[in-house]
Structure 1
Amino acid sequence: MVMTNSLEPIARVHRVSKKYGGAGVVSALDDVSLDIRPGEFTAIMGPSGSGKSTLMHVMAGLDSVTSGHVLVAGTDITRLGDNKLTELRRRQIGFVFQSFNLVPTLDVMSNIVLPFELDGRSPSSEETAWIDQLVDTLGLRERIAHRPHQLSGGQQQRVAIARALGARPHLIFADEPTGNLDSRTGREVLTLLAAAASEYGQSIVMVTHDPVAASYADRIVFLADGRIVDERGRSSAHQISGYMLSMERAA
């Protein structure tokens, strides 16, 4: 894993625009700039269609930009070919998406250590201890030999979270990570994501519509119509709800 200068952003979006369509062009992102700092938990919020998922996808190298630049760990990913981009994602980025993306033929532990397998190595003793902690914290110990089809949706999401955190990538993208979890497990997951940032220096970027989830973040970035319209530090769920309501009224 490539280490970066702790003073430098782990990810940087610079004047990025993303447009879809031909004659009826839709501008999903409009001249967006954003830095993601090491060890910071950032929540991205906004109304439906505001561009928050598109922003996450271009930052993760899952979608191209129409103009502008995206840097991850100092590398301009808008200039990378597919092979180099795949390698960077594998080593620098973890993903937690609503669709889980677990391998159906692998059991829980094999899914969790899959990033190590793809990188051609085994977990170190320190990484193994961290994975064991994740397994216990996420309540997966009794399910370790089960395959995805034997798990509930919430359990599959927990496996996806353990896989994303297990290799300790510098940058983790989470798309509504608690959407399929009960409130208690959701709180545990959010606490774990916050700890990954504060204790282990991982940068978390979470797209969410849930003010309670966003209240765990160090900062909240608000999007509307493809633009960043505000940014706030740690806030309560009540404060975030009030601001989101005012955004909807102004729309």
Structure 2
Amino acid sequence: MTDPTTRSDTRNPTSPGGAAPVARVENVTKSFGLGDGRVDALRDVSLDLHAGRFTAVMGPSGSGKSTLMHITAGLDQATSGRVLLGDTDITRLDDSQLTLLRRRRIGFVFQAFNLVPTLDVSANIELPFRLDGRRASADERGWIDWLVATLGLGERLTHRPHQLSGGQQQRVAIARALATRPDLIFADEPTGNLDSKAGRDVLGVLRTASRDHGQSIAMVTHDPVAASYADRVVFLADGRIVHEVGTSSPAEISQVMLELERAA
């Protein structure tokens, strides 16, 4: 049996360039409650996330965007349908297998940063390696050094989170998420607690990681400015994917959101 924590190079001719999606959601429904009290947070959703692409997921509150992210990342289970990371069907994995898969193949950037307060910046960035019971290789060490320099953290490595601004904390969270070069990064409202300049800086780093370094990123956001940094914007409403656009301006994205609200 294939180890679900390892990467796959399976090819799928339906995907851009012939490469298999880094993640695939197939006919996923997520329901809460039973009978008359049942609520469908997701309704027969299918979505491919491609390697090296920056995808933004948008929608009104309650549209299902966070639920979609959590299920795709293996943080929650679908009621029906399946989710694949590469060629691994993660809906068939048990809790211990999911934990290993998330540790080795998925990175997370959250609005609340989620840094370990007792660790300095350097230790927070290297935490994924420690949790996996290993040290960074020479190649990975070079990648971390590049991230630290690019994110402007070189003079902050011995600082603890409470000694950093919000923007600096989010940069540390991004470096930690990217450190192991995971198959896919999930970013949940990553600029929600930042001022405009810090938010733009963080989004610029995510875009550079995708365009220049082939990192696959899926970002949940309600902010049209944040979504404008993505290669692709997917819109949800009432638990369904209802629209999709390529790279667009904040004004164009806002117009789509307004039209979706009017149609609701």
- TM-score, shorter chain, exceeding 0.5: yes
Number of residue pairs aligned between Structure 1 and Structure 2: 251
What is the match of residue 15 of structure 1? 27
Q: Secondary structure, in 3 states, of the residue corresponding to 2:41? A: strand
The CA distance in 2 between the partners of 1:236 and 1:4, in whole Å, is 34
Give the C-alpha shift of residue 3 in structure 1.
4.4
SS of residue in 2 equivalent to 1:143: coil
Residue 71 of structure 2: which of 52, 58, 62 is its match?
58
Give the structure 2 partner of residue 121 of structure 1: 134
Query: Does the 8 A contact of 1:170 with 1:201 survive in 2?
Result: no
Q: Deviations over 1:185-229 (max 9, x none)?
A: 322221221222222222100001111111111110000000000
Q: Deviations over 1:68-97 (max 9, x none)?
A: 000012111111011111111111100001
Pick which of 177-186 and 232-241 moved more.
Answer: 177-186
Counterpart AA for 2:215: Q
Q: Distance in 1 between matches of 2:105 and 2:201?
A: 24
CA–CA separation in structure 1 for the residues paired with 2:178 and 2:125: 9
User: Could you say what secondary structure the match of 1:65 adopts?
Assistant: coil
Q: Which residue, 82, 85, 90 being the options, matches 1:77?
A: 90
Deviation at 1:129, TM superposition (A): 2.5
Q: What is the alpha-carbon root mean square deviation over aligned residues?
A: 1.5
| Structure 1 counterpart of 2:244, from 231, 236, 243 | 231
Q: Is the 8 A contact 1:43 1:220 kept in 2?
A: yes
Deviation per residue, 1:38-75 (Å, 9 max, x gap) = 11110000011100000000000001110000001211
Q: Which deviates more from structure 2 when the two are superposed, residues 22-31 or residues 126-135?
A: 126-135
**Cα distance between partner residues in 2 of 1:148 and 1:87:** 26
Who is 1:179 aligned against? 192
Distance in 1, matches of 2:8 and 2:210, equals 15
Question: Which amino acid is 1:226 matched to?
Answer: G
Letter of the 2:122 counterpart: M
List alignment gaps of at least 5 residues for structure 2: 1-5, 12-18
Identity %: 69
Is this contact kept in 2: 1:109–1:144, CA < 8 A? yes
TM-score, length basis structure 2 = 0.90
Using the TM superposition, give the Cα deviation of residue 121 of structure 1 relative to its aligned residue in structure 2, in angstroms.
2.1
CA deviation after TM superposition for structure 1 residue 159, in Å: 1.2
Alpha-carbon offset, residue 24 of structure 1: 1.3
1:26 lines up with 2:39 in the alignment: yes
Q: Which 5+ residue runs of structure 1 have no aligned equivalent?
A: none
Q: Could you state the TM-score of these two structures normalised by the residue count of structure 1?
A: 0.95
